[in-house]
Amino acid sequence: GLPWLTTNLRAARLKHLQAHDLVERTERDHGVKAYALTRQGLELEPVVMALGRFGGCYLATGPGDGDVVDIAWGLVSMKRRYVTGAGHVAIRLPDRAFHIRFSPEYVDVQLGRADAPVTAVTTAVALRQLFWLGASSRHLVRDGAIRLEGSDAAWAAFLEGFGLRA
């Protein structure tokens, strides 16, 4: 997720994280190699989310000119805003797909196509408008910026789980 990082520095960092049992090499969609947090790595998540909540108030104006923006970072950032709920939502963008599984205890955001999501969303810039700029989901759907497939109730539960309005 850091495209400007040189490959040798990225490899060194991943080896360091593996050596400390924080990440492990996995396979994703169709044999694509990736890294995932280990159980020990997952134990750090509450600390990272707490730092995100603390720093979030300094990002209220959004990214500045020249800031690098990546929707994957935004989706992981959403985890710190999670309130409650349960379900499975897919987000399909022109260049990537994500799936989000959420339960009362945890939110899991993964890159890749979902097995069988309850609801799927296809959008681009509308995600930013919805999650970070306070736009109404109802208006974004009406205007065609978001296309929902599947259960409207599941989508409403997803929005509610993150403190968003339908």
pLDDT digits (tens, 9 = 90+) for 37-50: 899 999 998 898 88
Residue position matching structure tokens 């109404």: 136
* pLDDT higher than 70, residue 29: no
* pLDDT higher than 70, residue 59: no
Tokens for 100, please give them: 């989000």
What are the respective helix, strand and coil percentages of the chain, to the nearest 5? Answer: 40, 20, 35
How large is the C-alpha radius of gyration of the chain?
17
Tokens for 48, please give them: 């990272």
Q: Which residue has the higher pLDDT, 32 or 24?
A: 24
**Residues 108-136: tens digit of each pLDDT:** 888 877 776 667 677 767 877 887 778 88
Query: Under DSSP, is residue 98 helix (H, G, I), strand (E, B) or coil?
Result: strand
Q: How far is CA 88 from CA 91, 94, 120, 154, 163, in A?
A: 10, 20, 9, 8, 16
CB neighbour class for 67 (10 Å; exposed up to 12, middle 13-18, buried from 19): exposed
- Is the pTM higher than 0.75? The answer reads no
Range with the largest mean pLDDT of 13-17, 115-119, 145-149: 13-17
